[in-house]
Amino acid sequence: MALRAHERGGPEQLVYEEAPRPVPGRGEVSVAVTAAAITFAELTWPETWEAGGVDRRPVIPSHEFAGTVSEVGPGVTDLAVGDSVFGLVPFDRDGAAAEYVVVPAECVSRKGPLISDVAAAAAVLPALTAWEALNDQMNLAAGQRILIRGGTGAVGAFLTQFAHTLGADVTVTVTSPSAEPRARSLGADHVIVTRPDSGERDQQAFDAAIDAVGADVPEWMYSSVRPGGRLVLLQEPPNEVLADKYGVNANFFVVHTRRDRLEELAALIAAGQVEVAIAQTFPLSEGRAAYERGAAPKPRPGKTVLLVQ
């Protein structure tokens, strides 16, 4: 069984139905999925619907998963049937909202018994995104000042925790006073409670900034960074006019899955050094309803996860 879309669109296109069991090729493994986390925006991504200009329909969403290796393809020697694993499916392939998913072996890591499948699936994409943003895109160093817009969201929570661990001076924005205690518990040194359309910020006060909210990045994100500082965007390419206006090095990136990063993440979670927030869970059979909840406020911070087996 799988959650599939035969036509382009939103959650209304998703159906729970029988689907062929995928077979791993060279360098791939098949995983019996137990948990698959949702990124609500993925139904709007071009990669979801086509690969190399070829239409991929019907498609299976949800690329963050945990489960058990059920079959290994030729050339795979470092994973075995029965291994408890988690990972991230490349975005131009069928995802893990299914009983089985096939994924390149380098996109998978052993999970360890101390981490639940739900937590592992929920952490993969936001944590890897946050880690790559701070280390590879920003080269964030101890003592630097960083501004995180949306510091308690799915990605923002990991950004706040990792930036704190790196020794940065962390300022986050939240849209409700009720979110301030959680932001501080994640490691924020300073919390700005603000309306989404507010433009009042310390001008050019930060060495780096990152937008963890989404599209339509406001101008104050650019003006908040000192000349020569870095601004990282997660949903859209930067506005080059604004970047030039404020002398900011702005860039957009798509996360790359690496096994060594997955192994580091597994160790952090197992050691209790990072919080993984779960907003809600749904059985796979109610996957359409889970995606429809993306337009409604979540009952608590964190990821939405499908329970598969």
Could you give the CA distance from residue 186 to residue 273 in angstroms, rounded to a whole number? 11
- 117-132 and 154-165 helices cross at what angle (nearest 10)? 60
Cα torsion through 195, 213, 128, 172, rounded to 10: -20
Residues linked to residue 4 through DSSP beta bridges, in sequence order: 15
Could you give the CA distance from residue 277 to residue 164 in angstroms, rounded to a whole number? 17
Residue 292: CB partners within 8 Å, gap ≥ 6?
Answer: 11
Q: What is the pLDDT of residue 272?
A: 85
User: For residue 234, which of 215, 262, 218 has the smallest C-alpha distance?
Assistant: 215
φ, ψ dihedrals at 229, nearest 5°: -80, 180
User: DSSP per residue over 73-128, as a string?
Assistant: -TT--S--TT-EEEEE--TTS--SSBSEEEEEGGGEEE--TTS-HHHHHHHHHHHH
Is pTM beyond 0.85? Reply is yes
By three-state DSSP, how is residue 252 classified? strand
User: For residue 286, which of 258, 266, 256, 308 has the smallest C-alpha distance?
Assistant: 308
- 259-270 and 117-132 helices cross at what angle (nearest 10)? 120
245 within 8 A of 91, measured Cβ to Cβ: no
User: For residue 85, which of 109, 63, 114, 103 has the smallest C-alpha distance?
Assistant: 109
In the chain, alpha helices (H)? 46-49, 117-132, 154-165, 180-186, 219-223, 240-246, 259-270, 287-292
Q: What is the pLDDT of residue 87?
A: 96
Could you give the CA distance from residue 107 to residue 120 in angstroms, rounded to a whole number? 14
Which token pair is 131? 């880690």
Residue with token string 């920003």: 138
State in Å, rounded, how far the first CA of the chain is from the last one. 11
Q: What is the pLDDT of residue 199?
A: 54
Q: What is the pLDDT of residue 195?
A: 64
Q: What is the pLDDT of residue 214?
A: 75
pLDDT tens string, the chain, 309 residues long: the values are 999 999 999 999 999 999 999 999 999 999 999 999 999 989 998 989 998 889 999 999 999 999 999 999 999 999 999 999 999 999 999 999 999 999 999 999 999 888 999 999 999 999 999 999 999 999 999 999 999 999 998 899 999 999 999 999 999 999 889 899 999 999 999 999 876 555 555 566 899 999 998 768 889 999 999 999 999 998 888 999 999 999 999 999 888 888 888 998 999 888 888 889 899 999 999 999 999 988 777 667 789 999 998
DSSP strand pairing (54-55 vs 50-51): antiparallel
Residues linked to residue 98 through DSSP beta bridges, in sequence order: 2
User: For residue 208, which of 158, 245, 157, 171 has the smallest C-alpha distance?
Assistant: 171
Domains annotated for the chain, with CATH where assigned, are 2-111+277-307 (3.90.180.10), 125-252 (3.40.50.720)
